[in-house]
Chains A and B, each alone.
Chain A
Amino acid sequence: MNQKNNLIQIKGLRDGLLMTLGAGEWGELQELLFAQIDARSAFFRGAKLALDVGYQALRVAEISKLRDGLSEREVSLWAVVSESPKTVQTAQLLGLATRISKQRPTEKERPLVAGDDESALWLVRTLRSGTRIEHPGHVVVMGDVNPGAEIVAEGNVLIWGRLRGSVYVGAALRTEASQSSGAFVCALTMNPIRLQIASEIANPVKGKTSKKPQKVSFKNGKFHFEDWQGK
């Protein structure tokens, strides 16, 4: 892996190209990436590109610069896959996909999430319309979730604010969900457009709007709305 060209691997996917970047300094990697594309510009022109950046933690400015650089070369970036939660979050902010349909070769079986406290995603901001947060664990939002925003979590979702968008928890537990999941959603104001726990969709939720903080869970084939309070 010492040779520079080995730092970037290219693979064809069903719906575009996947480039996997090795470890290295981001500025250099980006230069290398652009150089490779420029060298074979006819091959890359018009391509749909997914990028696997490994553990790189990228800021918004870096990804948007990358995207602009790629679009100047007529390559459209549609996904950024990463091990770094920071990068995943950034990519989602910019409206890029963070998962590709093909299983990543290095991916290990993910442990079932409930009880996996390490994997909570911490978001201190308002999630606005068009934002989609996907996370393989719990999600904590300090702020509102506005109409048009979506959270898809394999674990639970806690919202210290108003929930007016869509939330889907227990996403990994599609099968036999109703009995085992125990996934829940908490919000200071519970007024979601759509709320799904595992395979069950709470409907209608609107009438359940309450002034008090609420916790919604699904047990024994029924949705439970209860006041959200400390134990």
Chain B
Amino acid sequence: MTWLTPALAGVVAALTIPALILLYFLKLRRRPVEISSTLLWKKAVQDLQANAPFQRLRRNILLLLQLLALIAMVLALAQPQRNDLATVDDRHVILIDRSASMSAKGADGRTRLERAKEDALAIVDAMREGDFFSRNLADQRPQEAMVIAFDTTAEVLSTFTSDKARLRSAIRSIRPSHAPASLDAAMKLARAHAPVRRITDTFVDESGNPRSRQIESLRAGVGTIHILSDGRLADAQRVLAGVEDTLRYHPAGDPNEVNLGIATLRGERAYDDPDRLSIFVAVESNAPNPRSIDIEMQIADAVRVYPLTVPARANDAQSTDASQGASVPAPPSTASTLIELTMPEGALVEFRLSGEAMRDDSLAIDNRAWLVIPPARHTSVALVTAGNPFLSDWLATLGFDRFEVLAPDDARTVLDEPFDVVILDRTNPFDDAQIPPGRYLMLGVLPPEGVSSTGTAPNAQFLDWSREHPVTRDLTLEAVQIVDMPRLTVDADAGVRTLASTNAGPGILEWTAPELRAISVAFDPLSSTWPFDVSFPVFIAGAIADLSDDDEAGALAQLHPGQILDDRIPRTAGDVQIIAPDDRGAPTRAAQRLTPAPDGRIVFGPLDRVGVYKLRWKGPAGAGDVPDADRVARYYACNLLDPLESDITPAPELAIASDVVRASARERRQVVRRYWPWLVLAALAILMLEWWVYNRKVHI
């Protein structure tokens, strides 16, 4: 029990109670009336007094009752309030996880998010409230809270406020998302709202006068941070809590909840035979027993079923991370299957998990996944060379559907036809600035912009290359010796980046411009030992594959919830619309209009639902796009495919970088109760009693 305004009540009590007693000692002013005889009246009054019990008490009972009523009112003025002892900080940040795993349904049919929202409402209810009066009079400030909902991104739904109605409506407005969770983003957002600490510095200025100035110091602690989550937070280990912050973890979910979900889905066309399609599906299960399920694959209206048995999860015995002292639940078990198809045409493939064993599945989001398969692509390659029989012969054996060797002079006209990849072998048939849109592998040719040469180095060797880029990641370049290596400086702002660098500077570059992508080898391969190294054909093949695949990158690559759809469509496309899926993966009715950037780039997102996103526009179609009535459509599959989110076993504790936060016991929160209305009611009741007594009693 706390008193919000005891000082005010004390002042009022000190004024009113003596005043009441003083008033009581003043004699009642009676109306004088002359009557014929007081004989009978005196007798009556005496009789009545003699008859009434508790004379002494009765004489003072009015004063007693008035005092009681006054005390009740003064107490009401002090605004007593019962508070939750567990929440002492003045500021609370409520982080509510709305990620995919929070959509898991418990045994009672409610999702974890719903339960977390209830917990959050209980926290809000337990907050100490403010009072009627200004802050100056109040001895205790009301507690404030901020509501942040987070999945991959975090969103402030309510900034710090003590308005409980606003907080409640903010909490109730949280909708589940299908994106994975990132605690780091939420914590950063929360800490950004920490108040800035101001320090008043007193100093003596030049003229010797003492002055003071305010200095903004580091941010203070943000208060108590409540994390309402199931603990499936991939980046928890990166999160660093502030020294002054108190972290409380309110776990949601039941460890016995079972989930089977598609954890991996990948479709690939064979390199040598694009018609052959292989699809890899992996299913993850945290069930304690083996489950036999069916994977339904639906292409157009045809459904094929692939049975799969997922083993039981490893024994419940939990492995312990010794360094943190955090116990980690056993990882879920997985089973996978490879589906081989011959399918030259493009298709939208839907996968569903079904069967009897899926009955107690808690999370529906990961039971379905989609794959957008582009039509089999037949690569066409042009080699522009002044004469390089070695290269042209070798490329001819690689089995491209179309391969042509062009002389530099012919190239300008012939290249109007679309080739997937054009190889410029030590010659650039175009004016530097006017390379037409397309994909280029430039051997001994520098990008016309973003690179400046400052002479040559007589001898050079590769020192480092990108291990992530698909072109260079499989190469081994230490052995390559380069003669006449141009010394280059690269301007990253112009879209040029270095894939491999030598001791004399960048060796292999990637150049990206609107509707143009090129991989450039800065030196002449023939003036190096590279053509004799096995890494050279690997590089050429990889570069061609990467460049030719680039068109379909948006289509085959899968999106995940929380990501941003970022793609290019033809520059002349108009009336661009996107149709997002609804909660169950079915397309929504309403199409959203998008405005592409001048270079045809469209951005949409972050995607909050799994399913198929359909982008359509009026205008020319790109490779792999399908006609859709009078428009052109392009499909994007957005799948959860997140083993961490699919493993819905709630974490009993949250291991962050600085600490391990144990789950707060599910304490019964004390709802804040204000007692003053009851006190006012009591005062009213006492006043009524006093009135009744006054009317009953006779007083001399």
Bind each other: no
